[in-house]
Amino acid sequence: MEASAERVIYTAAAHVTGGRQNGHGRTEDGQLEVDLRMPTELGGEGGGTNPEELFAVGFAACFESAMGAVARRQRLEVDDVAIDSKVMLIPTENRAFKLAVELDVSLPSIDDDERAVELVRAAHGVCPYSNATRGNIEVKLTANGAPVSATD
């Protein structure tokens, strides 16, 4: 499967059976292997992870890398960045589901709130997860507690 005519620099591959109810997932390289279970909040037994948790970890990790790339371009040090992420599963009126994301970015080494906000806004323009979700789901961002209005 080819993404497009563009040059692909990396492909992640995984195999999943059983879905979110009683499933199992593993990456092709064997570095990640997880049991998938319905969370207790949705009436499941828990005891495993779920797609929303995996998405929350993936988005935050990717966003942190984007922050590093933007900071290097601006000659800033942000090695102490931390991100708390939330992914919400929301039912729609037509019996489907959608997601919403919150990323709370903590930049202890940046004491200028405006600079922190601009850095997070710039990272949102670079991050592949941000670019994949832009216009599809609500993504709320904060930088050192200050709201970041995305310029989508």
Map out the domains of the chain as residue ranges: 1-49, 51-148
**What's the pLDDT at 25?**
97
Angle between helices 113-126 and 51-73 (to 10 degrees): 110
Decide yes or no: CATH 2.20.25.10 for domain 1-49: yes
**What's the pLDDT at 79?**
86
**What's the pLDDT at 71?**
95
Q: Which mean pLDDT values do the consecutive 10-residue runs of the chain (152 residues) have?
A: 77 96 96 96 94 98 97 92 97 96 96 95 97 96 93 51
Q: Model pTM?
A: 0.92
**What's the pLDDT at 99?**
97
Distances (CA, A) of 151 to 62, 66, 120, 148: 19, 16, 11, 9
* Fold type of domain 51-148: GMP Synthetase; Chain A, domain 3 (3.30.300)
**What's the pLDDT at 151?**
56
Nearest-angstrom CA–CA distance, 49 and 25: 10
